[in-house]
Amino acid sequence: MNIILGGTGHVGSAAAMSLLQQGEAVTIVTRDPSKAADWTRRGAEIAVADVHDSEALRHVFRQGERLFLLNPPADPSTDTDVEERKTVAAIIAALEGSGLRKIVAQSTYGAQPGDRCGDLNILYGLEQKLRTQPIPASIIRAAYYMSNWDSALETAEQDGVVNTFFPADFRLPMVAPDDLGRAAARLLKEPIEQTGTHYVEGPARYAASDVAACLSDELRKDIQVVTAPREKWQETFEGMGFSRAAAESYARMTALTLDELELPADPERGTVSLQRYISDLLARRN
């Protein structure tokens, strides 16, 4: 049995679907039982548990042998660094005595030690904790999610703009959730002793200007990029509903991504292009 923690999100759903399509048994962990019906129709089992409850998680983990692990994002109105460290601690505690034989965990490009840099620090901490516990673990360092641009569809339609914190021509490694899900499924099925860190991105690197161009093609209207000035980043995050602490962390994470992101020489590449992702996004909405 494969346990998917975070199975109702973009990447977890893609991992679960990939495994189910290959005839693998899947249990999806959720704290929202209303999401069970769609997954049971697809052949998955559902386990209801709160990610903060280590004992409940351990009970679920004991039902399987392999775990795909994503640390869930905290509500941005909270101190996200504090809250996400709590969930990391609860998940790691649940591994002890779980009987799991292999873990595949989702991390991010740019993961690094430090403080107040959002996912870059939180997920680096997760990586380190996994390396010091006994269950063999593979790490996926994922490129920037194409799904982070989903909200741009609304502003493109309403205002003709794509809002971003990056310069319009700044190229980023990006990846579609489906490509990450397929990578996770493949790593879960590998021999238990086979571990390592895997950088996964899409078939090319893209900029905000490419997002605007793809939306222009799909919506048949001119779309412009609007970049928030660096000195306004924290204020902009706070205007989006982020707490002051979360805004500070996300602004620092954005700066590190823009200024210091180290790119792997030979990443694993998926097949979903940005154009295809945006086309599929519009098709799903319609």
CA 153 vs CA 70, 105, 228, 239: distances in Å: 26, 29, 18, 19
Q: Cβ distance 67 to 16 under 8 Å?
A: no
Q: Cβ distance 208 to 235 under 8 Å?
A: no
Domain residue spans of the chain? 2-144+174-202+263-272
pTM of the model: 0.94
* Cα four-point dihedral sign 238, 255, 248, 206: positive
Calculate helix-pair angle for 80-95, 119-131, nearest 10 degrees. Answer: 20
CATH number of the structural domain 2-144+174-202+263-272: 3.40.50.720
Per-residue pLDDT tens over the stretch 4-34: 998 778 999 999 999 999 999 999 998 877 7
Give the residues across from 227 on adjacent strands: 164
Per-residue pLDDT tens over the stretch 73-98: 999 999 999 999 999 999 999 999 99
Query: Can you tell me the distance from the alpha carbon of 27 to that of 164, in angstroms, rounded to the nearest whole number?
Result: 36
Residue 285 has pLDDT above 80, yes or no: no
Question: If pLDDT is split at 50, 70 and 90, which confidence band does 161 have?
Answer: very high
Q: How many C-beta neighbours within 10 Å does residue 286 have?
A: 5
